[in-house]
Chain A
Amino acid sequence: MPDYPDGALQAGTPAPDFELHSTPDQFVSRADFKGSPLILAFYPADWSPVCTDQMALYNEILPEFQRLGAKLAGISVDSAWCHIAFAKDRNLHFPLLADFHPKGEVAKRYGVYDENIGMAERALFVLDGEGVIAWSYVSPIGVNPGADGILTALEAMSSAEVPA
């Protein structure tokens, strides 16, 4: 059994790899995002009210994330079939990854799996183009963390890239 971190991985840590179903017949891995910043939004479950607001909000801000060169993926322990129905219902324009089997494995590697409820915590990671965590944040489970922290992290990253 691999060692899992105690809490959410912090800035400066290389992001653990993953390979997860984005649809029942497609996989997405961390390497697919290499070269551009990646926002990983772990959330407890499709369909529950706060997650819904959170994902709807990110859907709305997607153009702003893209302007900053970033890609976005949501991750929960729901299956790819559930994600498809959810994404279709909410008209989401970004991939939802299924951390379904082995259940919560990727959330555990990022230190954001809640054993008590058997779901991912509501956690945000911003990875740089090299796959190193630039910012992470865990929100109380019932609280939508919004997008301000993500945007601030992305902006700090893009300004750091400009040569002095």
Chain B
Amino acid sequence: MSAGVDLHSPRLTIPVSERDHVIGPETAPVTMVEYGDYECPYCGAAHPSVKAVQGALGDKLRFAFRHFPLSTIHTHALPAAEAAEAAGAQGAFWEMHDLLFANQHSLEPEQLLVYADMLGLEVERFATELRAHVHEPRVREDFTSGIRSGVNGTPTFFVNGVRHNGGYDPDSLLEAIREAV
């Protein structure tokens, strides 16, 4: 019955595609996926590492972020993920993503609206989508894909489809990438 389940070296079950928020060319030799939670302090710590890796690899890296909010311990994580998606619907996913990680302790609903305004988004539309939870199914979809890929906590990184089990400082991530290519 355990056939087909490899709990030690899990692989990404849903490959990166048009549905994902991606930075970097499709033809890049390295694809790194992060499953993260905007209220998780470890994800906050990993955020500059990702930036450093992106800086080091440039066009050789395609980076995708998927949501994995542990909402029963991080009560702001789900609304924050929905806010990133609502900003994404107006073409500003990554700008909101950066703002949320920069303000992990300020993720109250009214603060999310301030961020939308700072980014020059249509705040009314943004607020309506958050209230109606328009983007919640998308966030849940990310979460479920994470569960089925062996995401057991955050942040979890996949390098070319294989779960990275080491640390998430820039050197550890770069090392995992070097081994993968």
Contact = CB atoms under 8 A, between A and B. Distances in A.
A72 to B, nearest CB: 14
A148 B1 contact: no
B152 A90 contact: no
B72 A135 contact: no
Contact of A145 (B144, B147, B152): B152
A153 interface: yes
A156 B4 CA distance: 11
B152 A56 contact: no
B149 interface: yes
B73 interface: yes
Contacts, number: 61
A65 B163 CA distance: 24
Chain B interface category by residue count: 10 to 19
Given A56-B73, A91-B72, A156-B1, A149 B7 contact: yes
Nearest to B73: A56
Contacts of A139: 7
Given A53-B152, A60-B72, A148 B5 contact: yes
A152 B152 contact: no
B70 interface: yes
A151 interface: yes
A92 to B, nearest CB: 8
B27 interface: no
A54 B73 CA distance: 12
Nearest to A12: B1
Interface in B123-181: 143-144, 147-153
Contact of B10 (A59, A90, A148): A148
A11 B148 CA distance: 22
B70 A146 contact: no
B71 interface: yes
6 contacts: A54-B152, A59-B73, A61-B147, A145-B7, A151-B147, A152-B5
A-B pairs with lowest CB-CB distance, top 6 = A146-B152, A144-B152, A53-B153, A91-B72, A149-B5, A152-B5
Interface of B: 1-2, 4-5, 7, 10, 70-73, 143-144, 147-153
Given A92-B72, A144-B153, 10 more contacts: A11-B1, A56-B70, A57-B152, A134-B1, A137-B7, A146-B10, A146-B147, A146-B150, A148-B5, A148-B150
